[in-house]
Amino acid sequence: MTTVLPHSAYLTGRLLRGTGRQPAFVVIMLIQPMIWLLLFGQLFKRVVELPGFASGSYIDFLTPGVVVMTVLFTSGWAGMAFIDDMDRGVMDRMLSSPVSRIAMMVASVANQAVTIVVQGLIVVVVGLLLGASFSGGVLGVAVMLLASVLLAAAFASLSNGMALIVKTQESLIGFSTMLTLPLSFLSSAMMAREATPEWIQRVSSYNPVDWTVVASREALSADPDWSAIWPRLGGLLAVALVAVWLATRAFRAYQRSQ
Amino acid sequence: MTVPTGRATASRHAAPPPTEEPAIVADELVKTYGDVTALAGLSFTVEAGTVFGLLGPNGAGKSTTIKILTTLSTATSGSASVAGLDVRRNAADVRRAIGVVTQGSGTDPMATGRENLLLAARIHGMRGRAAKSRVDTLLEQFGLTEATRRIVKTYSGGMQRKLDVAMGLVHEPKVLFLDEPTTGLDPQARADMWAEIARLAAHERLTVMLTTHYLEEADHLAGRLLIVDRGEVVAQGSPERLKSELRGDAVVIELAPDADPARAAAAVGGLDATREVTVEGRTIRTRVDHGASAVPAVLAALEKQAVAAVTVARPSLDDVYLRHTGRSFAAAEEVTR
């Protein structure tokens, strides 16, 4: 167990360095959330006039939603790196070495966390430029990023675990799409809860994606209701821990199928 | 965590025990994938400090054997130990004692050679200056110093393979597994790799287990050989011994398209000088005591059949394979593809 931390640090270093050496990928990753915010901001500009929207500015409302969408569409693909490693033989070399299995998961999650924080900050800056007020201030932004990182940890781990089981990019793409799109639409990421059908409202209260959006929106509001934020952050932490644990178990499934 | 360099060095200088335990013992290894049997009870022993070759056509069970011995997979039944450690019960200790070069590459294409080696060293618990100096030594030893700062993606196939082997050696393992180390390399790179493996075998107290489907490679590198086919042991021993078990020379007759292989084989088989006649397509193989004196008799017997070519050769591992499996190595490769 004493190897978990140092191994996590080395493997995270490897992943971040690899990302840094692909400038095209970095640029796309940075531009994508901006485009979403600008596009959705224009598309749904007048949606706040619908009954059920407490907020008067759609950009204020939308920013946490776009951050969460970014989390899903970035972390859902985390397992692709695992499949690259399998195809190249890196996975076999790792698993036949004394590397900590948990560290392999932690490193992937840490890599996602760095990406998510950078992307989240870009969305916040663009939101401010578009006229958002973010009354919750720096603390509100910090809570949003924390919730997003926890959600990213859960999704990245599920994606990694699935990668170890399906072992092909095609299957992973299918799984990831099947999971991310419905989960984002079954949440209040784009639409106020009160403006959605009742069954969606009911489902969304069990949806970790919705917990992230609600906690973030609450924290960014002028007068945050912390009793709505803490339970959701706790729930996200629990989901993330379970996902990391399950994904680490998937190494056994991978080795059994060898 | 202990620093493996220290331990490996200590054991290297220690006086060898009177009877050294084998580096690898496999006992009745069976592996099935659903209905498919990859290994059908494989048993063998590898003495410490030797180069052991696992030879067989594609699909013979070589990679499955390596996967079980390197803890990547578990046997359906049977047991195995590496460096005296049970691969199932002591998997974590086995992983510290072995170096593995997989069939693919195992290097990170977006990292430099040096970064790849440093990561491997650190995973094995080396730190700071010790890790760096070990990495520099290996880069020099494998002639990779000029490519140290380039990312692996830009390496040639031969350079990449050298880096793979260097990574397998970073923690000075007791046993090094090389799964098809020269597959896909050009002839020059293959010759370099052969020299590298021969050097490892000569200079370091290291046991090397390599798999190959190149007969010449096994002949050239391995002190002992295990020939496997369809998950079973076909023959084992030193290449010389395996070849000397075959008396005499091999005569290979290529028939012209209009010849009748069955009749030709019967004619060849009818001679006193010939043994073990086999037919594969239009190729007839046989063994004789003295190749040079037998050829005229063979040609005379084939009078009515058009012969395209006759060759006489000293026994090769191909002949060993043919004798034990009843098919030529090339034909076995065709079948499994």
3-state secondary structure chain A: CCCHHHHHHHHHHHHHHHHHCCHHHHHHHHHHHHHHHHHHHHHCHHHHHCCCCCCCCHHHHHHHHHHHHHHHHHHCCCHHHHHHHHHHCHHHHHHCCCCCHHHHHHHHHHHHHHHHHHHHHHHHHHHHHCCCCCCCHHHHHHHHHHHHHHHHHHHHHHHHHHHHHHCCHHHHHHHHHHHHHHHHHCCCCCCCHHHCCHHHHHHHCCCHHHHHHHHHHHHHCCCCCHHHHHHHHHHHHHHHHHHHHHHHHHHHHHHHCC
pLDDT at B205 over 90: no
Minimal Cβ distance to B70: which of A14, A89, A96: A96
B286 touching A, CB under 8 A?
no
A14 and B111 within 8 Å at the Cβ level: the answer is: yes
CA distance B321 to chain A (A): 28
- Kindly list the residues from chain B whose CB atom is less than 8 angstroms away from the CB atom of residue A10: 119, 122-123
For residues A48 and A66, the answer to whether their CB atoms sit within 8 Å is no
- B24-28, B112-116, B175-179, B313-317, range with the lowest pLDDT: B313-317
Average pLDDT on B131-148 reads 93
CA distance B214 to B298: 30
CA distance A171 to chain B (A): 21
* Closest alpha carbon within chain A to B33: A257
B100 and A90 within 8 Å at the Cβ level: the answer is: no
CA distances to A40, A74, A221 from A61, in Å: 11, 21, 10
Q: For residue B107, which amino acid is it?
A: T
* Residue A230 C-beta-side C-alpha neighbours within 13 Å: 3
- Predicted local confidence at residue B296, as pLDDT: 86
CA distance B171 to A230: 47
* Mean pLDDT of each 10-residue bin along chain A, 258 residues long: 90 95 91 88 77 72 91 92 94 94 96 95 92 90 97 96 95 91 88 84 92 95 93 97 95 87
Task: Give the pLDDT band of residue B10 (cuts 50, 70, 90).
Answer: very low
Q: Which two tokens stand for residue B196?
A: 């590298």
B106 touching A, CB under 8 A?
yes
CA distance A247 to A245: 5
A97 and B120 within 8 Å at the Cβ level: the answer is: yes
- Kindly list the residues from chain B whose CB atom is less than 8 angstroms away from the CB atom of residue A11: 119
Q: Which two tokens stand for residue A129?
A: 């430029």
DSSP per-residue letters across B57-117: -TTSSHHHHHHHHTTSS--SEEEEEETTEETTTTHHHHHHHEEEE-SS--S-TTSBHHHHH
pLDDT at B1 over 60: no
Q: For residue B125, what is the DSSP state?
A: T
pLDDT 10s digits, B40-85: 999 999 999 899 999 888 888 999 999 999 999 999 999 999 999 9
A99 and B123 within 8 Å at the Cβ level: the answer is: yes
- Provide the ipTM: 0.88
- Give the global pTM: 0.83
Order across the sheet with B24-33: list the strands: B36-46, B24-33, B77-82, B85-86
Q: Which two tokens stand for residue A214?
A: 């609600």
- Predicted local confidence at residue B264, as pLDDT: 85
Backbone angles phi, psi at B100, to 5 degrees: -130, 125
- Predicted local confidence at residue B301, as pLDDT: 84
pLDDT at B258 over 80: yes
B119 and A258 within 8 Å at the Cβ level: the answer is: no
CA distance A98 to A1: 11
pLDDT at B2 over 50: no
Give the relative orientation of helices A101-129 and A58-75 as an angle to the nearest 10 degrees.
150
Q: Sign of torsion, CA B184 B189 B190 B195?
A: negative
For residues B286 and B276, the answer to whether their CB atoms sit within 8 Å is yes
- Comparing A95 with B336, which gets the higher pLDDT? A95
Minimal Cβ distance to B103: which of A6, A11, A89: A89
Q: For residue B271, what is the DSSP state?
A: S
* Closest alpha carbon within chain A to B75: A256
CA distance B136 to chain A (A): 19
A22 touching B, CB under 8 A?
yes
A227 touching B, CB under 8 A?
no
Give the range with max mean pLDDT: A130-134, B136-140, B311-315: B136-140
- Predicted local confidence at residue A54, as pLDDT: 64
B108 and A21 within 8 Å at the Cβ level: the answer is: no
Mark which residues 161-220 of B lie under 8 Å from A by CB.
167
CA distance B230 to A147: 54
- Kindly list the residues from chain A whose CB atom is less than 8 angstroms away from the CB atom of residue B98: 96
CA distance B238 to chain A (A): 29
Residues 6+ apart with CB under 8 A from A146: A233
For residues B49 and B61, the answer to whether their CB atoms sit within 8 Å is no
| Neighbour tally for A177: CB within 10 Å | 12
Name the H helices within B227-308: 239-244, 261-269, 291-301
DSSP per-residue letters across B141-204: HTT-GGGTTSBGGGS-HHHHHHHHHHHHHTT--SEEEEESTTTT--HHHHHHHHHHHHHHHHHS
Chosen from B123, B127, B152 to mutate, greatest number of chain A CBs within 10 A: B123
| Neighbour tally for A26: CB within 10 Å | 14
